[in-house]
Amino acid sequence: MVEVVVGALIREGRVLLVHRGPGKRAYPNVWDLPGGVVEAGETEAVALARELHEELGVHVGTTSSSPLCRLSVRPAGEPVLLSAWLVHDWQGTPVNAAPEEHDDLGWFDLETLPPLAHELVRSTLSAAARPRRG
């Protein structure tokens, strides 16, 4: 089974999303969290740090993220285990370092997120990132 990791970079109540290009095989023309396939021998945290560096040009330590949710999906008919992470800290300014992967990026308010590729990721992200009261 293919394993995929995605990361939610959150700053000041906003999350960074990337827009998947219209030519993508899986989930074309959709805003989503950045990430990609876990390679052989990688942990999810290592894969997440590598993918975010490749796609956004940021540096993420393997201990600066925490699991958000996991789900099984079938984006192009193949089973995929998707693991979403909250990224608490990173170095660098995110840029679209992988224009072949996505054609835009932007910061979105957590209360008004656009539809993502997976509603469970969207709802879990919104709930987890909301400031705690009390």
For the range 37-44, what are the long-range contacts, defined as Cβ-Cβ under 8 Å and sequence gap of 24 or more?
37/2, 37/3, 37/4, 38/3, 38/4, 38/5, 44/3, 44/5, 44/83, 44/85
Q: Is residue 93 part of a domain?
A: yes
- The answer to whether residue 33 sits within a structural domain is yes
Question: Beta strands 14-20 and 102-109: pairing type?
Answer: antiparallel
The answer to the question of residue 49 being in a domain is yes
Q: pLDDT band at residue 75, thresholds of 50, 70 and 90? A: confident
- The CA-based diameter of the chain, rounded to the nearest angstrom, is 46
Total tally of structural domains belonging to the chain: 1
Assigned domain for 58 exists? yes
133: pLDDT strictly greater than 60: no
Q: Is 134 contained in some domain?
A: no
pLDDT-wise least confident of 1-10, 31-40, 49-58, 71-80: 71-80
Domain membership of residue 112 (yes or no) is yes
Q: How far apart are CA 110 and CA 104, in angstroms?
A: 18
Q: Global pTM?
A: 0.91
Q: Which domain holds residue 49?
A: 2-129
Residue 76 Cα to chain centre, angstroms: 18
Which residues lie closer than 8 Å to 122 by C-beta, 6 or more apart?
113, 115, 116
**Domain with 105 in it: what CATH number?**
3.90.79.10
101 within domain boundaries: yes
Residue 91 included in any domain: yes
